[in-house]
Structure formats: C-alpha cells, structure tokens
Structure 1
Amino acid sequence: MRFALLKRICLFFQAFIRSGADAKDPKYRLGVGIVLVNKGGKIFVGKRINKKHSQWQMPQGGVDFYSQKPEPFAQAAWRELWEEVGVKNQCQLVARTKNAYRYDFPYFNLWKLRFKGQKQVWYGFIFLGSDKDINLEATDYPEFGSWKWIERQELMSSCAFFKHSLYTKVLEELWPFITDALHSKNFLNPFDGKEPVCSEKS
C-alpha cells in the first residue's frame, strides 16, 4: 500500500513537471478532453482509481511539454484515449472543438500550487469495438478504476458539479457532429485538420 502511494505521488510530480499553460492564460493547465461515444450513442465515463469521493467523468489529461514545446493536441487526445481507456484502433476521430474550454478547480489540490484550473481542447470519437476491448489497465499506471456507458442526459447527474458548464458547452458543440457520424456509413472529419496554436510553456 505504501509503495503504491509513493508511486502515485511520483507519477503526479512527473505530470506536474511536464505540464504547461498557454502564455496568454498562464493560470490554466493546458490539456485535452475526450467524448467517446459507442455505436448506440452512449457516452463513456469512468471513476478515478483510489479516490473515495470520485465521480463519473469523461477522459481527459494534460498536454505534455518537452523542451518548452507542447505536444500536438490531437496526439495528446489519442495518447490519453489509450492511457485511460486502453483503446485506439477501435476508434474514429470525428470532431474537435474550435476553441479551448476552461474550468476552475473548486477546492485545493496539488495542481493549485501552479494552476487555477484547466484549459482544454475537446475531441469527439466514435467507438467501433466491443466492450471487451476496453482495458483500464492497458498501461502500468491506470487512471480509472471503473467505467460504464451512459445516456447523454445522465451525464450531468453523474459528473462533478464544477464540470456541468464545461460538459454542457462541449456537448453543444460536438454532439451534432457525433450524431451525424453515427448515422453516416462513411465517417467524415468535420474540421479542417488544423490544430489550435498553443503558446510556449509559461
């Protein structure tokens, strides 16, 4: 138990060091979020591992910075999809938000030593595999301890209160593209492929 705790603390500080912010918004950690929807139109949510009061949430994570250069947003989204859900080849990218969305941390945590909250670009994916393909332990350091598919209308009653506004805005923007993709035989990428420009690490 003690070794597992030390390992998680070490992993946190590794992520802390790799994280960065947009120079114009230095109080917010730059990251990505993922709306993963199955063929039945249900949304993937998970609960963080080893947290007593963890609530359901969609996958998300920080953009890594190396040598002051940020990881491309799309690359970060695919990486987080693999690290948190254990899938990649079974998914089709269909949408990306035009802008980044912010939310504030509602209470003190270690991230608040550096950031006020998070600023995220969100991606919409269609999951084409089967439930047995989902593997929360695909990496040595799993993020989620449990998962499920929920209807869109269930999301707000399941997620943390401070993400209600964020999730509402993200789904308003991405859901029409996701719905179109679900009803199309040929999934089309509705954006031009250009990634949002991120300033250097602050």
Structure 2
Amino acid sequence: MPDLPQLDRNTLPIRVCVGIMLINRDGLVWVGRRRPKWAAPHHGDIWQMPQGGIEKFEPPRIAALRELREETGVTNVEVVGEHPQWLSYELPEGLLGIALKGRYRGQRQKWFAMRFLGDDSEIDISPKEGTKAEFDTWKWAPLQDVPELIVPFKRALYQRLTGDFAHLAQPVTEESPI
C-alpha cells in the first residue's frame, strides 16, 4: 500500500463556528460526551460544550441558538453573554485530515453564555430525523472542572472561556436576576 501524502496544515481552512456555555440555575455548566472514532485510545472520553458551524449569511447569535436546539433540544434560554473576541484552536498534527471530518485544521469560534430557564426534561440528545446524535450522554459540571474534561488541544481555549464567563456561571437566587 502506498504511503498517504502528508497534509499541509496551510492548505486546510479554519472552520468558523459558534460555541455555547449553557448555565443552569445552580451555576453548573452543561457538557456532553462525544465518542468520535479518532479519540480512542488516545483521548478516551471527550466532553465538550455545544458548538457547531455557522451557515451562510447566518448571524452568530442565531447560529448559537440553532446549534443548541439541534444538539441538546434546549430552546428555553436567555443569552446572558457574548465573548468579545473570536477564540481559535488548531488540531494537533496527528489529527489533521481525521478530526473535523478531515476538512479543517481547526476552528474559529464565537462563544455565547446562555442561562437555561427550563428543566432537565427539556434536554434531548437523541438523534433527530436525518441527523446523528452529537453526544451519547451529558451532565452538569462545575465551571472550574470543565477545562479538565476537554481534549488537551482545546484546553487553553476552554480555560480562557471559563475565566472570562466565570461571573455569569453563578447560582441564581431569589434575590438575583436570571
């Protein structure tokens, strides 16, 4: 079998997408577990917050609400924050041509913080008609634990994001606004 050609990082584009930090009334953050084929045995379980691509001419905020609905079934939210910058990560060499369907070298993401106003029964990660499920399970996690759940090549982005959104991931009390 001939050797496969080496991918040149510079020939693969960066995928433009959105990410969502979904925060419940207890100040916990929603994470879902993905099991992409490329993960095992190198990375084990992969947890992440909802994220996805922006469609042509779609505003990022609308994309974030759509992706959240598609991946989690959640629609009962309030947008409480938007990161002022686009945050990026690049795949490590060993995942080029494999992760992100082999078509991208990384992602440039606009992140939104959203307060979940519903209850857990609203969350539905089962596959929808014509799509596959993004996650096989999910949980609420303390904000400070989220970066350690993430694959190492995304960890710096998640550390930045959790630090910048920490003031939003507080429990809601009767005295505090949602």
TM over 0.5: same fold?
Answer: yes
Corresponding residue of 2:91: 105
Unaligned segments of structure 1, at least 5 residues: 1-25, 188-202
For 2:27, the equivalent position in structure 1 comes to 41
Q: Is the CA contact 1:57–1:159 (under 8 Å) kept in the aligned structure 2?
A: yes
1:115 to 101, 104, 119: 104
Between the aligned residues of both structures, percent identity stands at 34
- The answer to whether the 8 Å contact 1:95/1:125 transfers is yes
Report the count of equivalent residues: 156
> Does residue 31 of structure 1 match 2:13?
no
Match of 1:91 in 2: 77
Q: 2:3 corresponds to which residue?
A: none
Q: Does 1:72 align with 2:63?
A: no
User: Measured at CA, do residues 100 and 50 of structure 1 come closer, stay the same or move farther in structure 2, by a change above 3 Å?
Assistant: closer
Which residue of structure 2 lines up, in the alignment, with residue 15 of structure 1? none
- 2:134 is matched with which residue? 143
Aligned with 1:125 (options 101, 107, 114):
114
**Quick check: 1:168 aligned with 2:159?**
yes
1:152–1:110: structure 2 CA closer, same or farther, 3 Å change rule?
closer
Using a 3 Å threshold, how does the CA distance of structure 1 residues 123 and 81 change in structure 2: closer, same or farther?
A: same
Which residue matches 2:7? none
String of CA shifts for 1:165-200, please: whole Å, max 9, x gaps. 001111222222443x8456444xxxxxxxxxxxxx
Question: What is the aligned partner in structure 1 of residue 5 from structure 2?
Answer: none
Distance 1:132 1:55, change over 3 A: same
CA contact (8 A) 2:82 2:111 kept: yes
- Offset from partner CA, 1:146-182 (integer Å, 9 cap, x none): 1001111211222111111001111222222443x84
Task: String of CA shifts for 1:118-146, please: whole Å, max 9, x gaps.
Answer: 00000001112111111112622221111
Contact map agreement 1:101 1:121 (CA 8 A) in 2: yes
1:59 maps to a residue whose letter is P
Alignment check: 8 A CA contact 2:72 2:125 kept: yes
The answer to whether the Cα contact below 8 Å between 1:77 and 1:123 also exists between their aligned partners in 2 is yes
1:42, 1:170 → 2: CA distance? 15
Offset of residue 112 of structure 1: 7.2
Amino acid at match of 1:160: V
Structure with greater proportional helix content = 1
**Equivalent in the alignment of 2:150:** 159
* Displacement over 6 Å in runs of 4+: none
SS in 2 for 1:97: strand
User: Residue 112 of structure 2 aligns to which amino acid in structure 1?
Assistant: Y
Structure 2: which amino acid aligns with 1:78? L
Measured in 1, the distance between the counterparts of 2:14 and 2:141 equals 29
Q: Please, what is the CA RMSD of the aligned residues?
A: 2.2
Q: Aligned partner of 1:35: which letter?
A: M
1:12 alignment counterpart: none
